[in-house]
Amino acid sequence: MSGIRFDSVSVAYHGTTVLDALDLTVEPGEVMALLGPSGSGKTTALRAVAGFVTPAAGRILIGGRDVTGLPPYRRGIGMVVQQYALFPHLRVQDNVEFGLRARKEPKAEIPARAAEALEMTGMAGYARRYPRELSGGQQQRVAIARALAIRPQVLLLDEPLSALDAQLRSGMLAELARLHRELPDVSMLYVTHDQVEALTLADRIAVMDRARLQDCGTPQQLYRAPRTEFTASFVGQANLLPVTVADTAGAALFDGRTLTVDTGTAAPGTTATLCVRPHLLALGAGPDALHGPNALHGRLGEVQWRGATHRLYVDVAGHRVAADLPELRETPTPGTEVTLHFAPRDAVLLAAGAGA
């Protein structure tokens, strides 16, 4: 069992820091998702573990062993990338056997282990094919089989599903979750910019933005109690509203009205950011038990039908608030006055400027 540890790892390209003193530990057997917008340094962090970029500072440990100075081929990691990178001149079987041969595993064991890896990814029937004769999803399965065949302690996945269509992606996501259950000892570092993948698969999520780690926690923690505004808006697109803390009993002022929320330890008079998820807002006439006591009044800007839900954009005192409502029978007309409600426990108060 071995995990991964980033110990103040910094990476710079031509003097630009693209990874800034990253401290992160992936526990043995854990699935850690690296989530962040494009260019935030996720791939760079992964490549540093694989050994394809050399950190300017800091150390990388795999299973407690410092691998910072080791070449990639001595790190014993499995890696799966977005473009699959299957060897086009080798059949599926030989692709999967490649790592076993390279590592000089006993000859007699190689075919059986390749078969096992192909079995695990459901590709046993395709061993004789060339990669170009497979669909994208099948190629990705082979790439995963190839990485698993060497029985790595650590599996690095860089947006492995992003080249697949939505339906295939959700299928593969379930497959990956199953693989993780079958291989509970393997630590996985899973790079993605898709929060659904991160929330579904990961034991913990590390949120990155502009070369820095912004937040790290279980999906529930990040979703229910984000610590920074960036996390709140990136994971689940929360609405962020500036409020003033009125008292410690749970009152906050927004747009001159009092809202009831958990103000925690925030001192009265300080400014804070109220964070509430679109799907936790309800549309209603007045405060009642069903809708919750807090009301946001505003003018309806836009209505989008999204199948199972309606997305409403409401202009509340100059802030654009998004609300996801179960499919409405009668959609309100844009331009009319509407009121959105939410329960106190569905809102989180962030100290102003947290994490910025």
Ligand X SMILES: Nc1ncnc2c1ncn2[C@@H]1O[C@H](COP(=O)(O)OP(=O)(O)OP(=O)(O)O)[C@@H](O)[C@H]1O
Q: Residues 152 to 191: which contact another protein by CB under 8 A?
A: 156
Partner whose binding site includes residue 341, from Mg ion, ligand X, another protein, none (CB under 5 to 8 Å by kind)? none
Question: Nearest distance from residue 213's CB to ligand X, in Å?
Answer: 12
Q: Hey, which residues between 90 and 119 contact another protein (CB under 8 A)?
A: 98-99, 102-103
CB of 97 to ligand X, least distance (A): 30
Say how many C-beta atoms besides its own lie within 10 A of residue 17's C-beta: 16
Give the C-alpha distances (Å, rounded to integers) separating 273 from 235, 240, 269: 16, 6, 13
Interaction mask 26-65, ligand X, x per CB under 6 A:
----------x-xxxxxxx---------------------
Q: How far is the CB of 346 from Mg ion (least distance, A)?
A: 33
φ/ψ region of 237 (left if φ > 0, alpha if ψ in -120 to 50, else beta) reads: left
Instruction: Give dist(CA 207, CA 258) in Å, integer.
Output: 32
Quick one: which segment of 25-33, 143-151, 213-221, 255-263 binds another protein (CB under 8 A)? Answer: 143-151
Considering only residues 178 through 197, tell me which ones interact with ligand X, judged by CB under 6 A.
193
* Cβ atoms of 220 and 348 closer than 8 Å: no
For another protein, which residue of 78, 160, 292, 298 counts as binding (CB under 8 A)?
78
At 120, phi and psi to the nearest 5? -60, -30
HSE (side-chain half, CA atoms, 13 Å) at 223: 15
- Residues from 8 through 67 that contact Mg ion (CB under 5 A): 43
Which is closer to ligand X, CB of 42 or CB of 180? 42
How large is the greatest C-alpha to C-alpha distance in the chain, in angstroms? 77
Site mask, ligand X, residues 9-28, x = CB under 6 A?
Answer: ----x----x----------
Calculate the alpha carbon distances from 239 to 7, 276, 279 in Å. Answer: 34, 5, 10
Q: Closer to another protein by CB, 98 or 313: give it.
A: 98
Residue nearest to ligand X (CB): 43
Residue 141 near residue 123 (C-beta atoms within 8 A): yes
* Count of residues touching ligand X (by CB under 6 A): 11
Q: Which helix (H) or strand (E) holds 337?
A: strand 337-342
Q: Which residues bind to Mg ion, rule: CB under 5 A?
A: 43
Q: Which residues bind to ligand X, rule: CB under 6 A?
A: 13, 18, 36, 38-44, 193
